[in-house]
Amino acid sequence: MIDLAEKVAIVTGGAQGVGGGISRCLARSGAKVLIADIDFSAAENMTQRIKNEGGTAYPFEVDVTSYQALKNMVNEAKNQWGSLNILVNNAYNAADGQQGGVLEVDEDRWSNDIRALVTSVYAGCKYAIPLMVEAGGGSIVNISSVHGLLVAKKALTYEAGKAAVIAMTKQMAVDYGEVGIRVNAICPGHIVTERIFESTWKNNARGLNFFEDQYPVRRTGVPEDIGNAAAFLSSDCASFITGHALPVDGGLTVQLQDDFGSRQAQYFKDNPDIEMPYKR
């Protein structure tokens, strides 16, 4: 069992979705969790949910694009519990990112997206590391994506940002391993959060089944899949793991695309009365 008793953790974007799953898993493992989120009401709700389960949490409103807000967030964790041992840089809603390639993405939106995706990780780590040094070490977990390893069409800012998170993770692992700070990244596959289910899959069960069939494990992820990985990487069980970008993706990134295509082609050959998916 993962033991994070007496550890103090911050989870940005920790009130819902993937961040909510991370907050719950850290708290179930014994950590005291600062639920840092731009939606303070949601942070309060997640705090109460964790307390109802017997855990320890505290809500904090933060805009991760603000240096001062991130500095205040780190200081709040110390004010509440006296130290800081774990930082999970999770906050960013992919649905907010501007779609488009290099010719379509405008300059202002590029700057805003990179600030939310990359600069927030830089600043969160910059302010957290000194407190971790004081505590004798710690663990940083940066949430990247399978999009940081492989790319999708017309998603320039998201792909660039998530790839940068992986590079930053490796670089910081080299810099701070000698003072007892481990830095790792998680690369989630498709995680069906509450919001994604409502907006995308609630009325499209057939589409979700088709999507799940792309994964070797034949399902998409849930927030606790990422939460369990974050809890592991934050624990002493992972004490010899740093600088790693861990795909938590049901095997998506180890499978050749044409394997899925071949299986689907055979399926539709065997079932000629079933309509083929729309070809874009």
Task: Catalytic residue, from 58, 127, 158, 176: name it.
Answer: 158
Pair 16, 195: CB distance under 8 Å = yes
Q: Residue 240, Cα to own-chain centre: how many angstroms?
A: 21
Token code pair at residue 197? 């289910």
The HSE-up count of residue 154 (CA atoms within 13 Å, CB side) is 4
Establish whether 215 is a catalytic residue. Answer: no
Sheet strands side by side (includes 8-12)? 56-61, 32-37, 8-12, 86-89, 138-143, 181-188, 245-248
Catalytic residues: 158
